[in-house]
Amino acid sequence: MVSKVTVKAPSSTANLGPGFDVFGLAIDAFYDTITLTKIKSGIKIITDDNIPTNPEKNTAGLVVKNMKKKFKIKDGIEIKIKKGIPAGYGMGSSAASAAATAVAFDKLFGLKLNGNSLVEFAGSGEKASAGTVHYDNVAASVLGGFVIVKTNPLDVIRIEPPTNLRMCIAVPTINVPKKKTKVSRGVIPKKIKLSDSILNLSNAAAIVAGFMKKDPEIIGNSIKDVIVEPARQHMIPGFAKVKENAIKAGALGVTISGAGPSVIAFSKSSANLKKISLAMAKGFAFTNTKCQTVICKPSKGAANKRK
């Protein structure tokens, strides 16, 4: 009988511009590592990182609680969380903990759940951070690659990204509000113009086509969002300059990563990725904001890394 399982889950970027709450992409910038160990009773979280240790308030804790209940498991579980993904920066940090936990729990108890079920349990953990269940980041983090999330019923379509797709991410060193995702969802317009919805739909469709055709140019050129990005960009100091600089340096498309404040530029391996990253950092410096830049590529998911 297995009594301990360790699983790693990647960071992810949600939305990719026009695919709000629908698209996700696993990226190899950062990883969370979760170790689940069977103990006598209860749910205990151990971490050195600055995240809640109350299981109800931690995405990993909530996943364990929900899975224990669903499968009527009496054992207690100790959850060891090693964060590699900065929390609250739009890199799917809370989602990666949830994703790795769902995959580890499945393995610990030999449940052999399918991809959609793992994503469903991981998504249920997101309530601890965002206040609502949403699946874009967890789907990418569990399954890897590019994902399209359909809901009611939940069904995730996964597409293997082009091997030459590259991203430059700039993570600004600013304080993020505690309920950032909730706050940044609050600024999104409740009503949208039909012409804007058509524009976003055409770009979202083109992004899917770009992944199917394994063409980073189509993907990057379609990272255009006229609905959510304009409503949120004021929350990121220097966003317009970061975007302008990245495009000038050769990026194909630039947008907010998830709910921000990280900014992500899409490009391909043959581009001058260092130049793009530097241009983004200079954009942030325009408003005296420091940032960490990472050049990355699509990642496998937590479920693909099962030993």
Q: Which residues bind ligand ADP (CB under 6 A)?
A: 51-52, 58-60, 81, 87-95, 97, 128-130, 178, 180-181, 258
- Which CB, 44 or 214, lies closer to ligand ADP? 44
Catalytic residue among 37, 120, 126, 293: 126
290: buried, middle or exposed (CB in 10 Å: 19+, 13-18, 0-12)? exposed
- Which CB, 11 or 203, lies closer to ligand ADP? 11
- Is 181 catalytic? The answer is yes
Q: Facing residues of 12 across strands?
A: 26
- Which CB, 54 or 202, lies closer to ligand ADP? 54
- Which CB, 128 or 207, lies closer to ligand ADP? 128
| Closest CB 66 distance from ligand ADP, rounded Å | 14
| Closest CB 164 distance from ligand ADP, rounded Å | 26
Nearest to 180 by CA among 250, 118, 131, 115: 131
CA atoms within 13 A on the CB side of 42: 4
Catalytic residue among 59, 101, 181, 255: 181
| Closest CB 93 distance from ligand ADP, rounded Å | 3
Show the tokens assigned to 243.
Answer: 């975007």
Which amino acid is present at 67? M
The CA-based dihedral angle spanning residues 275, 280, 281, 285, taken in that order and rounded to the nearest 10 degrees? 130
Q: Facing residues of 155 across strands?
A: 150
8 A C-beta contact, residue 133 and residue 151: no
Length of the chain: 307
| Closest CB 267 distance from ligand ADP, rounded Å | 22
- Is 126 catalytic? The answer is yes
DSSP SS3 for 219: helix
Catalytic residue numbers read 126, 181
